[in-house]
Structure 1
Amino acid sequence: MMLDGDWYLRSRLKLRHLKLLVVLADVRNQAEAAGRLATTQPGASKMLAELEAMVGARLFERTAKGALPTPQGEILIRHARWILGDLGRLGDELEASGDQLAGELRLGTNSSSAVCLVPRGLVLLRQSAPGLTVTIHEASVESLLPALEARRLDVVVARLGRATAGAAYEQAALLEEPMVLAVAPGHPLTAHKSALSWRDLGDYPWILPPEGSPVHDALILLLDRHRIEPRVLARSASILNNLALMETAGALGIFPAAVGREYQRRGLLAALPLALPPVFGPIGIITLRGLAPSPALAAMIQSLQTSAQELKTSAQS
């Protein structure tokens, strides 16, 4: 499939073709896609045939699970989402081209930054840009990065590591956030009055972070160094799920220090007196490489940087 640089002009590609691609990818049913686009099924079939003729490739295959994109279809769908999303953001920027920033930002975060850094940053952003709305998506960094690449997120705030170092991303460290090991209140390990040793931890089940995350990789190295083969109960990035498993199964979990302090204050966990070395990587901002930030995103990044600086100053005082 060879396409010249201006193929979309000569083939009369229209936005309705891109909308059909995105909707059909989401619903996987041509009749339903036609209904959502306020057209007929024959009309949707015609648009899809036009698009396939433009690029010289089949874009969807009919299967028992519905209309599934081919590899070429996946490529076009990804770019269609980018283009339609950029047009929506273009409208926001034109509307906010005066003195007041407006529109919506979509921020992805994980537990490392969701407790203190991001909320404080949002308060600061609200003060400087009250017309902006921020939608927050909380998940593991492994789930957030594909959404960033697909332009469903504008920025990710998470712990930096191997996964975030890809060529597609720009990353900037904000602050170091230590980690703590924790158990449920009343766990046998809380009876230790002095510092624990790694040997004390070996008999209990573990809740590990998702594989590939910076905290998972660093924790596995620490466990290997201390010759501990963890009994893995679960791999989870959900704080609520981890708290429940710690309570019901007597498991150990690992948390950002700020998260540990907050939930210990609420009586939901007990941090263990075992100092962890600073090997887990900093928390930082991740954006797509090569994309200049909009004024709204630049304001969000500035607020996060100020939030990080305030947290560092507070920790030193």
Structure 2
Amino acid sequence: MEIPRLLDGRLKFRHLVLVDALARQGTVVGAAAELHVTQPAATRSLHELEDILGVALFERGPRGITATVFGEAFTRHARAVLAQLTQAGRHVVELADADRGTVVVGTHLAGSNVLLPRAIAALKKERPYLTVVVREASPDALLLELEAGRIDFVVGRLTSPPGERVVRRKLYDESVELVVRASHALAAREAREDEVLGELLDYPWILPGPETALRREVEEFFARNGFALPENRVETTSFLTVRQLLLETDVIAVLPSLIIRDDSRIARLPVRLDPVGHSVGLTMWADRTLSPSAEALIRSLEETAAGMAPQL
């Protein structure tokens, strides 16, 4: 197969943007709507790109489109190019005005309640005109945003070892707790772990979403102790939702210890979840140049985490 000439002027940036949108949306209609073009225009652009590459990038089906092996590979490269161009533009702007800039950080439950707010507050004292954009989503969704360059890095739980595509940097280790509101009937009990765990199943629960590593570890914890997951449960990674339900109902929640450490309205239950725990840190895309603003927030996160270490 002859290597396609991608620098002969036929390949346009709109082709790269289209491939990214098609892969995420799963339909030509959805991609066209996102890019504010007509469906025929999107279809025509896709045909142009497939002619340039000499392969089919997507398979058409009754419910939408599915990327072929060629489509998956080219989409990764397209996202890398778009991400680098986004970073390049921001880098030039920030070099022209060193006190300003924008950093976009993704976060999920771990690290979002204490570490990230403190680091942002410290950074804003030094660079008040730097804009920090925080996007909260599931770990898998954030990795997709990171790959496409729509966020600079992720702050949260480190769930897998470093690979070729991402770099993970640990900031601290954190335990996981079972918690209830301070006035909960279980909060004042002093019982052995096995006695308490059996009684907990009669209460409503909040568990991490099934897409998270923490959820899988909680499931394994219950299985090791001979119990199925509680049937009366809510599944979410939204801390605001978790906290409000904790304060207003008899729900039991699984949360990282730092999230509830300074909240007198929430109490820990005497149930050890060992070995359920995690490392909190940074997830960055390998071989991608970070903007000065992103580097500044990373330094603030590292300094903040170091100052928290004796309290962990």
TM-score (norm 2): 0.80
Pairing of 1:114-125 with structure 2 (within 5 A): 114-125=112-123
Q: Show the counterpart of 1:94.
A: 92
Deviation per residue, 1:8-44 (Å, 9 max, x gap): 1136312232234345556644698399567x76655
Distance 1:291 1:201 in 2: 46
Correspondence for 2:207: 208
For residue 193 of structure 2, the aligned residue among 192, 197, 200 is 197
Contact 2:173–2:279 (CA<8 Å) still a contact in 1?
yes
Deviations 1:102-145 (A, max 9, x none): 43322111121111100111122223334432221223323322
Which residue of 1 is the match for residue 288 of structure 2? 291
Supply the distance in 1 between the matched residues of 2:94 and 2:22 (Cα, whole angstroms): 32
- 1:304 and 2:298 are equivalent in the alignment: no
Return closer, same or farther for 1:307/1:53 CA change in 2, 3 Å cut-off: same
Residue 145 (structure 1) aligned with residue 150 (structure 2): no
Query: Contact conserved, 1:92 with 1:102, CA < 8 A, in 2?
Result: no
Which residue pairs with 1:181 in the alignment? 178
Gaps of at least 5 residues in structure 2 are none
Question: SS of the residue aligned with 1:21?
Answer: helix
CA contact (8 A) 1:34 1:44 kept: no
SS in 2 for 1:231: coil
Match of 1:10 among 4, 8, 11: 8
Distance 1:211 1:22, change over 3 A: closer
Unaligned regions of 5+ residues in structure 1, if any?
none
Overall identity of the aligned pairs, in %: 32
TM-score w.r.t. length of structure 1: 0.79
Q: What CA distance in whole angstroms lies between the structure 1 residues aligned with 2:126 and 2:143? A: 28
Compute the displacement of 1:280 (Å): 0.8
Letter in 2 for 1:255: L
2:278 partner SS: coil
1:211-266 CA distance string (max 9 Å, x none):
4644334444444454444424244322344346657874421112222235x43x
Correspondence 1:259 to 2:255: no
Structure 1 position 155, deviation (Å):
0.8
Name the CA distance, whole Å, in 1 between partners of 2:118 and 2:216. Answer: 28
Q: What secondary structure does 2:154 align onto? A: strand
